[in-house]
Structure 1
Amino acid sequence: MPRTHKTLPRLYVEPPLADGAEIALDKDQTNHLVNVLRRTPGDNCVVFNGRDGAFLAEIVQVAKKLVSLRLIERTTEQTPANDLWFGFAPIKRLDYEIQKATEMGAGMIQPVITRHVQNARINPDKLKAHAIEAAQQCEVLSVPDIAPETSFEKLVTGWTDSHGDRILVFCDEAAASASPVETLTRLKGKRLGLLIGPEGGFSEEERERLLGLDFVVPISLGPRILRADTATVAALALIQAVVGDW
């Protein structure tokens, strides 16, 4: 998207947006804008809701726990929703993976509980907050949906029913080192999903299960074993560069 008003604070809001409308910020946003950023009436910011594009807004009222904004004009049209599905086995530092997946264009993010998962305690509200934070910082307009956590077995058993003809790419750390570019190139034009395992890796049973499914395509990420969060960025970059929107 164009980097319009890039120096202004950007805020994700829920209400519909239109020229001339007035909206109220919630308590946390008010605190951030007034007490952290020291904004006052007459100052500007940019707001977006993931549906109506981005709007230049002016602060018209500052109360103790409430800021009112008046929307001046739409500065950026809404971008289409991203189609890429991203599934991951939760690690201890969830914020990094969610933020990077948002920045890299995932449209749907879903925690997948595998055998060696490190963090089975998932708070969906925190995941959404991490995605919104990344969208605000990186001028993303299409905030990814956060799907409920699911088990590995439920995911692969119900994949076709839930995802139709979408191909599931998984990073196979046990595969021989090879460039994934040729494999991904063959998937051009297809709907894709990416599954990243835990830092302990998929179990051998899980790996064999994936390799036996006709909708799964394994790729190698090279000769080195990567941390799960590093593999997330590497794999998403490859997909977007070879068959995505880069």
Structure 2
Amino acid sequence: MSIPRLHAEGPLAPGIELALTPAQAHHIGHVLRRAPGAALLAFNATDGEFAAELTALRKDRGAMRLGERLRAPAPEPELRALVAALKREAMDWAVEKATELGATRIQPVLTRRCVAAHSNTERLSAIARAAAEQCERLSLPAVAEARPLHAVLDAWDGAPLLVAAERREAQPIHDILERLTAPCGFLVGPEGGFERAELDDLARRPFVSLATLGPRILRAETALVAGLGAISLALDARR
């Protein structure tokens, strides 16, 4: 039986006792059916990962005591995932997979063809937390409020930004990855694609590289996973 991993705000150290969040207590008690004395793992990006023991559990309350540290914190490349606001199910899935692939920041953007006018930051943050707990990463990605695409671009810090542009002349993504360094970002448009004016604006930005993922037209969430996967592998190979 796998040991449940729980993200915990720091500081973490052997011997301290931490309260579980209501969501964690519910999941441990009602979903996983664990009882006091069960083994847990507690982690965060600052302190690393620790063995822990469930010491109390009652309805939506619980506590755990930390034991030895099992993993020290480790640096990770800054990889920003930008995705046009999608329908709820697709957006939830995109956030989960972006977390698994190592995105350090997830930025929903609002474009002219978006099918959603906003995103639920609290729900998406909870999805990212659950994904991090299951994929054994130590950090949680920051999930930002949805913002208009032009506002995100105007505030961009100049880091390389790859943009999935399947209906525009673009470089194969693997050619760009040969020279890509972190921090960097990857942007995917809405289900209907970017409008021409949006692509023209993107192409004029000096930090933007238009990229193609191959000969097929992918769903927005599929394109996000394909691009992030390729970028993450390339960045990890250089560490």
In structure 2, the CA distance between the partners of 1:173 and 1:113, relative to structure 1 (3 Å rule), is same
Q: Distance in 1 between matches of 2:15 and 2:193?
A: 52
For structure 2, the 5+ residue unaligned runs are none
The count of corresponding residues between Structure 1 and Structure 2 is 235
Runs of 4+ in 1 over 4 A off after TM superposition: none
Q: Is the 8 A contact 2:99 2:140 kept in 1?
A: yes
Secondary structure, aligned partner of 2:64: strand
Distance 1:50 1:197, change over 3 A: same
User: 3-state DSSP class of the match of 2:130?
Assistant: helix
**CA 1:214–1:14 in structure 2 vs 1: closer, same or farther (change >3 Å)?**
same
Post-superposition Cα deviations, 1:40-76, rounded to whole Å, max 9, x if no partner, equal: 1221111113321111111122334422211011111
Gap change, CA 1:204 and 1:137, over 3 Å in 2: same
Give percent identity, aligned residues only: 40
Q: Pick one of 91, 104, 120 that aligns with 1:94.
A: 91
Equivalent in the alignment of 1:3: none
1:211 aligns with 2:203: yes
**Match in the other structure for 1:156:** 153
Partner of 1:184: 177
1:1-246 matches, within 5 Å, as 7-92=2-87, 93-159=90-156, 163=157, 165-176=158-169, 179-187=172-180, 189-242=181-234, 244-246=235-237
Deviations 1:159-200 (A, max 9, x none): 2xxx2x30111011113586321222133x353111110111
Give the aligned CA root-mean-square deviation in angstroms: 1.8
Greater share of residues in strand: 2
Instruction: Give the alignment's TM-score, normalised by structure 1.
Output: 0.89
Query: Per the alignment, do residues 72 and 116 of structure 1 end up closer, same or farther by CA in structure 2, a change over 3 Å counting?
Result: same
Distance 1:200 1:64, change over 3 A: closer
Inter-partner Cα distance in structure 1 for 2:60 and 2:185: 42
d(CA) in 2 for partners of 1:17, 1:145: 20
Q: TM-score, normalised by structure 2?
A: 0.92
Q: CA deviation at 1:133?
A: 1.0
Q: How much has 1:231 moved relative to structure 2? A: 0.2
